[in-house]
A = this chain, B = another copy of it.
Amino acid sequence: MSKAEAREGKKEGNASAEKILQAAKELFAERGFAAVSVRDISERAGVNKALLFYYFDTKAGLLHRILEQYYQAHAAALAPPASEGSTRVRMHALVTSYLDFMEDHHPYLQIVQHELQSNTEGLSMLRSGMRLLFTRVEELLGPITSDGHLHVRQFYISFAGLVITYFNYAPVLDVIWEGDPLSASNRRERRQHLHWMVDRILDGLQTCNPDQDIG
């Protein structure tokens, strides 16, 4: 256990540390880890530059702490197993909770995307987060999918892509969309489209499994 971790354990919730975390989340999401300097973070947080090293040891340690928080939040958001209702109802609920999380934790996706390109150790945490979400999808769709191109892993990455890409490309979608793609009405429209997509995919799986009642 490093000195900084020990301090965090005792001083969790310290005002300055929280301000640093918040500023770093924003900046890492805006520009990516490597393009942000410690000076940038401390200035936005309104604290002294040296405090960052006092609380987090290194700049990389700060990123590590942020990712840890997000992964925990993501795991918690996926916790409810949604064990009642038809496969169709539960699948819609899963997509809804995934969308909710993305809307509530906007910097998360951007930081993850950045990590995906830089082959750092942060990827191992991302892997375990992925396994958790995959397990949820597997519980739901495992019984009605088969092998090969209709394997449940294919549906998993497809659903994830459908949800994620809209937020990921939001900065350049204003050319095609009217107004801000992240406005309330546009986000609602996107949600409706995704639920329509879920229904069409489940319709296709129902045809493949006439004996099972998907809902």
Which A residues have a C-beta under 8 Å from some C-beta of B? 29-35, 110, 113-114, 116-119, 123, 126-127, 130-131, 134, 148-151, 153-154, 156-158, 160-162, 164-166, 168-169, 171-173, 175-177, 189-194, 196-197, 199-201, 203-204
Contact = CB atoms under 8 A, between A and B. Distances in A.
A185 B189 CA distance: 37
A119 B171 contact: yes
A153 B114 CA distance: 26
Copies, count: 2
3 nearest interchain CB pairs? A161-B165, A149-B192, A200-B204
Contact of A34 (B35, B126, B192): B35
A117 to B, nearest CB: 5
A150 B162 CA distance: 14
Given A35-B118, A150-B196, 19 more contacts: A30-B117, A30-B118, A32-B32, A32-B34, A110-B117, A116-B168, A116-B172, A119-B171, A127-B175, A130-B169, A130-B172, A131-B176, A149-B193, A149-B196, A150-B193, A153-B176, A154-B193, A200-B200, A200-B204
A166 B175 contact: no
